[in-house]
Chains A and B, each alone.
Chain A
Amino acid sequence: MKNLIDILDLSTSEIEQLIDTANDIIDNPDNYRKKCRYKKLATLFFEPSTRTRLSFEAAMMELGGNVLGFSEANSSSSAKGESVSDTIAVVGGYADIIAMRHPKEGAPLVASMKSDVPIINAGDGGHNHPTQTLTDLLTIKREMGHLDNLTVGLCGDLKFGRTVHSLIAALSRYSGIKFVLISPKELELPSYVKDAHIKANGIPCEQTTSLDDAMEKLDILYMTRVQRERFFNEEDYLRLKDSYILTPEKLKNAKENMIVMHPLPRVNEISTAVDSDKRASYFRQAKYGKYIRMALILKLLEVE
């Protein structure tokens, strides 16, 4: 493997390996502090995403490497800039590995076709965000102990939420998975995602509009943001938004060992009162993101 563009570029055993490495980094951080000495990671963010960029940069720094890069103030300015191919031709000469975020879908794939150094897709528009999915998988593995035999509730905007689509694709390859899709009618999971992954793998799947009804069955509750701009009218938004806000009250029916995940940033879909509940995993999830990116950088740079 030379690049990571789509989570399905990785086999389940490659994912397993990355998770093992990340776990080892967490347990023995000292062993990794000089692994990437004299190596440079370029973070090319044609669209701002502070969290993802910081996570990549922290990952490289903890491996003893250096970082360089840019972040466009807004996504439209990159449209006027030079082509992806030209940018890569230049930056490829400065860096050993590149993490790229771009508003256009497929931009990192184009970069990988032109580049001599490994490319990591750090998000391409509403399309893919494979390091988020790796983060989610590491979180599930660490918090639940396994990636199979889980009932996974996905709640909120399932229509536009790319993190949800990728997570479904990734988890559909494990046995004993069940999905519970919790969303308003307007934001249901697109049928092509259902067909390509859930149906194709014969995975049991329930669809509901009620978070309360689903709660007690779940091993994992993956929350996403229900954005105002996704709705045609304000009335629908106001009517629906509260039913997808997680509160301690709603958690009462949940299993004791369930975990609550969220790709962050959250706005109001998880009440801050939930943060102190031991089932709230989202801040740990954000931290795991750094470790899995460290593992990924090591793998792509073929550092032993």
Chain B
Amino acid sequence: MRVDSIKNGIVIDHITCGKAMQIYDMLNLDKLDCTVAILKNVSSNKMGKKDIIKIDCDIEINFDVLGFISPNITVCIVRDGKVAEKKHIDLPEQLTDILHCKNPRCITSTEQDIHHIFRLTDRENGIYRCIYCDTKA
């Protein structure tokens, strides 16, 4: 299987080992027609083991999802076989419509047409809280 010869696409690198499938699901990559490769347990000098996802087409990605699932991800945008852009993804300040609040007393449980928003309240421990009720994500 050739997975390293992307022409125009995206490489999501340095994914915490075991998190690749979760990213695959949250980015809805199953909806894509192009080639998508998931590499698991790849040896890495920096991390010991890591996961990688390679997507062989140019799509818009929600970087907040990536940062939330696995901080310290690197995203490479590949154009004409070369890395055109490299982005280091950190924990996002805010998550909009990515998570839903689990608190049944939260207004998000009844109000229609409302954005579900979580804010990073503790970067060190990666803790997000619902902006409406302060419940932990």
Contacts and interface: CB of A to CB of B under 8 A. Distances in A.
Interface of A: 79, 83-85, 102-107, 109-110, 124-127, 192
B56 to A, nearest CB: 40
A107 B107 CA distance: 5
17 contacts: A83-B110, A83-B111, A83-B113, A85-B111, A85-B113, A104-B110, A105-B133, A106-B132, A106-B133, A107-B107, A109-B107, A110-B111, A110-B132, A125-B133, A126-B105, A127-B133, A127-B134
Contacts of A106: 106-108, 130-133
Nearest to B112: A83
Contacts of B108: 106
B133 A110 contact: no
Interface of B: 103, 105-114, 130-134, 136
A105 B131 CA distance: 10
B122 to A, nearest CB: 9
Contacts of A84: 107, 111
Contacts of A126: 105
A12 B105 CA distance: 30
A107 B131 CA distance: 11
Contact of B110 (A79, A124, A127): A79
B38 to A, nearest CB: 37
A126 B130 CA distance: 15
B107 A104 contact: yes
A170 to B, nearest CB: 16
A105 B105 contact: yes
A106 B105 CA distance: 9
Nearest to A127: B133
Given A105-B106, A106-B107, 13 more contacts: A83-B110, A83-B113, A85-B111, A104-B105, A104-B107, A104-B110, A104-B111, A105-B105, A106-B133, A109-B131, A124-B107, A127-B133, A127-B134
Contacts of A104: 105-107, 109-111
A287 B119 CA distance: 37
Contacts of A102: 107
Contacts of A110: 107, 111, 114, 132
Contacts of B112: 83
